[in-house]
Chain A
């Protein structure tokens, strides 16, 4: 009798668990919708605009003449076409690499100075994160349109794709381990299947994002760095070409998505 009781209880618990899983994605959507009204990334965007227009560095100039790919000083729509090939450096760059480039060439900072604090820490804010928030916000509502025309852009895409599928390390892990199947999650965090175009679009178009758990706007570099840490790989160098290549692959996977970042996430 007791055994049957236990079995029923077990069945009940299982059913409850199953329905909890089913509601999960929906609940997360409601949560996200509620938060959209109060996204502190707005403040980052304002701070970033100020930083963009403030004279700084040994040369005492602002970043307003920085060429993000659409001509010097054009911020609107720049992010949806990044990463891209820049002929002045003969390289494919993502937004953050380009920002470093501008801070070095325009403002006269050294590489060390320009990459000194890419991510905010408690009590120590980064300049780069607000700048990224400002620049990405200027592409809101536009469609992701990475060109992939130049041979070096194509090369970056192929390298990025390889990196995505590359499994290695102590756990034989790769991006693909978590992001190649539908309806997977880590704890309460849904894992998008990045091989599915719709899911790839939804995710890419909402990064960078204000992360409630960290209280900061986090850039794509930060996001991918976290992914790589979770794969038990060594920390990548900030603004390395490998991260740009991976970003290129993801950006192209999200082609056509209506850009809606900086968003707000857990």
Chain B
């Protein structure tokens, strides 16, 4: 059950600053619950950010990334009102896509 992300993208001079907050447990598979059994691994494997049709960020994530990850990056060539689309896929095959307009 993928939960929504919070995406903010702001034009700052010649670049767009994007901030993405993701809701995900990011379980490493190495932790044990109170019953002593391992908690199964559940983490985001890839995350892609597209500006309009162009990929501006392509990432490979793993178990070293924290729970509820926060990602911030800048890219050139964006304009106000342009569409930023973020998609992640996790190891259980679950996926989520959210979109925002550059402000």
Residues on A facing B (Cβ under 8 Å): 35, 37-40, 42-43, 121-123, 212, 215
Contacts and interface: CB of A to CB of B under 8 A. Distances in A.
Nearest to B21: A38
A193 B43 CA distance: 40
B67 to A, nearest CB: 4
Contacts of B25: 123
Interface in B74-88: none
Nearest to B71: A38
A215 B68 contact: yes
A215 B25 CA distance: 9
A8 to B, nearest CB: 40
Given A37-B19, A40-B23, A122-B33, A212 B72 contact: no
B66 A123 contact: no
Interface in B20-39: 21, 23, 25, 27, 31, 33-34, 39
B39 A38 contact: no
Contacts of B54: none
Interface of B: 3, 6, 8, 19, 21, 23, 25, 27, 31, 33-34, 39, 66-68, 70, 72
Contacts of A42: 6, 21
Q: Give the secondary structure class of B's interface.
A: loop
Contacts of A122: 27, 31, 33, 39
The 7 closest A-B pairs by CB, nearest first: A38-B70, A40-B68, A215-B67, A38-B21, A43-B23, A123-B39, A37-B19
Contacts, number: 36
Contact of A37 (B67, B68, B72): B72
Given A37-B70, A40-B21, A215-B66, 17 more contacts: A35-B70, A37-B19, A37-B72, A38-B19, A38-B70, A38-B72, A39-B21, A40-B67, A40-B68, A40-B70, A42-B21, A43-B68, A121-B33, A123-B25, A123-B33, A123-B39, A215-B67
A42 B34 CA distance: 27
A126 to B, nearest CB: 14
B97 to A, nearest CB: 17
Contacts of B8: 37
A37 B67 CA distance: 16
A122 B29 CA distance: 12
A40 B67 CA distance: 9
A121 B34 contact: yes
B44 to A, nearest CB: 14
24 contacts: A35-B70, A37-B19, A37-B70, A37-B72, A38-B21, A38-B72, A40-B21, A40-B23, A40-B68, A40-B70, A42-B21, A43-B6, A43-B68, A121-B33, A121-B34, A122-B27, A122-B31, A122-B33, A123-B25, A123-B27, A123-B33, A123-B39, A212-B66, A215-B67
